[in-house]
Structure 1
Amino acid sequence: MNIAVLSGKGGTGKTTVSTNLALALKSNYIDCDVEEPNGFLFLKPEIKETQKVMVEYPSIDDNKCISCGACVTACQFNALAKVKEDIILFQKLCHGCGACEIVCKYGAITYKKREIGKIEKGTTRNISCSRGVLNISEPMAVPVIRQLHAKLTGEINLIDCPPGTSCNVVNSLKYADAAILVTEPSEFGLHDLKMAVELVKMYDIPFGIVINKDDGKANIIKKYCKEEKINLMGVIPYRRETAILYSKGEILYDDSKHKDLFDKLSKEVKEVLSWN
């Protein structure tokens, strides 16, 4: 079973929930937040395997190219441009679709590969951990996320998604059987939570909500869950000791109070989601 953990916005505690819940469920942990993969800072796995993520890009043979511009017209991503009599390639805009090579009548275009990131795998506390890491200055994270998903194994995979509701999140949700939406009791939290809810509903993914930084009082998130009949699976209290542990890069699950909290949450997850 693949469980995606996502949030409508950054800073809600998505990675905190993901890493600690992975230990409570004894599941594999997969960090798809490839632009800021922070999960390993807490789980500290021993990395045993590293794989390069490669993408294709067009290479133009100047001896064959007559600068007709057919490739520029065919490119839907503005990765090619005709400047006077030259064809200019913007390498990082290329999606590797192959259209330019198909329309070139002179055989001037072939494809090469370049590295945009890597996949790292390791183990810690008897669980398997994987993460994607996008190279600095690379604009497209989706190829890294796709390669990370291609390696999913095991009975339970906890997928730590990127924040927001962008195409990176959509690709992280591609193989999800269920979802946990992490939010905070604020107007911004509610606003972005609603977008995340619409996203998982669009793909008909069973889901529940976890509130982080909860003060134990009535708030707008609890009201929203009640009105929309959404399962509120649990809350993480707003405590000073929680912030201290987190700021030190320590796992909350090692603390007895927090262990009980995440063990309870793991049971609730099994009950709320279609567990099989």
Structure 2
Amino acid sequence: MNAESGLKLKLFADGANLAEMRAMYKNPAIAGFTTNPTLMRKAGITDYAAFAREVVAAIPDRPVSFEVFADDLDGMEAQARIIAAWGPHVNVKIPVTNTQGVFTGPIIHRLSSDGIVLNITAIMTVEQVAQVAEALAVQTPSIVSVFAGRVADTGIDPIPHMKACRAALHGRPKAELLWASPRELLNIFHAEEAGCDIITATSDILAKLALVGKNLDDYSLETVQMFHRDAAASGFEISTAAIAEQPAHQSDPA
């Protein structure tokens, strides 16, 4: 089954490994790319701008999100305008607040009003979505990234939560709702059920799309074969001779 062909929402690849990003770019089902400073740090990136320019050159015609990392709103806005100039397909990620919890609405409004396509990130609540929607310019496309996976980590069912977020964006038809931080492949279908426009996922999750529709009997047999193969490769042994030497089990007298 070609799982991608039946999906209505867009698949974005999340990561900061340039080789993996290039490989994902070869897949026409991947509609865009996202990254963030944490993923870049894990990937060993030390020159933010140089890495971003390599990505923009390697992926010239699909949306790519790069995030500001200043903590004051003026610094965020200045970085956002620089990042936006890296390419017409570059989306600028702005966190919903700074590290002190100050809402970034004023700069969201200014940047969006100037036609810069923003990806508002680290959102968790429906109330935050409503605040962001109010700040966004109606005429400018944008992405509103709700970290549904982290919401689920707190014990909240993310599907009705994301449906409520969808409703909170009703006045911003050019704002796309993105399901961020998925924990498993099934979340792709959860995101579609919730009315999301986009889901961003790491390459290990996206690779599992090939499993969609797989016969479970076949999958069961392959799993048994894997266990047997790995046991043999490890040289595991359990002596059965000792079992024969053990006395027969005696039942307790009634």
TM-score range, shorter chain: 0.3 to 0.5
Question: Greater strand share, 1 or 2?
Answer: 1
TM-score by length of 1: 0.36
